[in-house]
Structure 1
Amino acid sequence: MKNWLVCFLGFIILKAIAAQETATREELNKKMLEWHNEFRSKILNCQLEGQPQAKTMPNMTYDEKLAETAQKWADICTFGHDDAANRNPGGYGYVGQNMAGSYTFKSGFDLWISEHEHYDYEGNLCANGKVCGHYTQVRQFSNCVLILLTH
């Protein structure tokens, strides 16, 4: 069994507030991978103010089996995280989940990465009253798989 912390990144976009995006799911997955890998490259190259340079930062990839598992959760139409018992699909060890409700996929992603402003790397904690767990998921060294879901 692989001991990877996998970033299970699902966007749940409520149809009532979501703008129409004309891209196909494959195009959106490609864009999300591009955004993640570009951002992770900034961390690797010490280009993120206030954050230390990563020693290594592998590119993320797409995993169809995780996508199937994630889609089952999205189909339930509950905005929240899946049970911990269901976060070990495909032998990945533990699968983290990031979600966002946003008008566009890019603005949801930007919300996640903006959390770096509130993250203290040395202390491994967020500023008091702030959220930074989405950012730490995106920057996690061992993350290797990205899945995009819409609802």
Structure 2
Amino acid sequence: MNVEIKEISATNFLFLPHTGVDNLESTFNKLIAWGTPLQLLEDENSKIGRIFHDSFTNTAPNKVRMSIGFKTSASIEQDSLISKTTIPKHKAIAGSFTISLEEFQNAWSQLYQWMHKNGHKPSYVAPYEIYNNDYRQHSEQKCDVTLYIPIF
């Protein structure tokens, strides 16, 4: 785990809402199919990510609300499929990991433990993760991901 405190600029997030852990891959595939003709996958300023509106620690996995989308500087308007929001400017704990799909829960736990140990408090901005690769193309099927916990 590599951890940094970062100042994050406000950015657009174009997303599909998703609830629960079932059918996540379907939602990601729908997002990618939408973003491909707009060349968002080729844009170095666009990354796929997921915002968490609920915590798995106090919400049943099948009820956790999340937004799956593109964090992007591109000026693309929402349409009938995609919604748009802004992740506001904030300070965040950013933890970089190379992990399997099964290790996400542990990675988030480690990052929250680091936050508490170092005296930081989470802010009102929802935590999120940004994917830096396509895990299916990694030789060990691992995700190169950055987890963000916005803090005060």
TM exceeding 0.5:
no
Q: Structure with the greater relative contact order (CA < 8 A, sep ≥ 6): 1 or 2?
A: 1
